[in-house]
Amino acid sequence: MRALLAAFTLSASLTACAQTQGPVDYNAPPPSQTSQTQAPEDVAAPGVSETYQQDEVVSAVSDFFGVTAEAAGAAVERIFADNGRPTGYIAGEEVSGALGAGLRYGKGVMTLKSGGARVVYWQGPSLGFDAGGNASRVFILVYNMQSPDQIYRRFPGIEGSAYVIGGIGVNYMKGDQISLAPMRAGVGLRLGASAGYLAFSKERQYWPF
Note the pLDDT tens digit of each residue in 14-29. Answer: 344 444 444 444 344 4
Give per-residue pLDDT as tens, 98-115: 777 888 999 999 999 998
**Is pLDDT above 80 for 195?**
no
Stretch 148-168: mean pLDDT, rounded?
89
Residue 22, phi-psi category: left (phi > 0), alpha (psi -120 to 50), beta (remainder):
left
Instruction: Record the pTM.
Output: 0.73
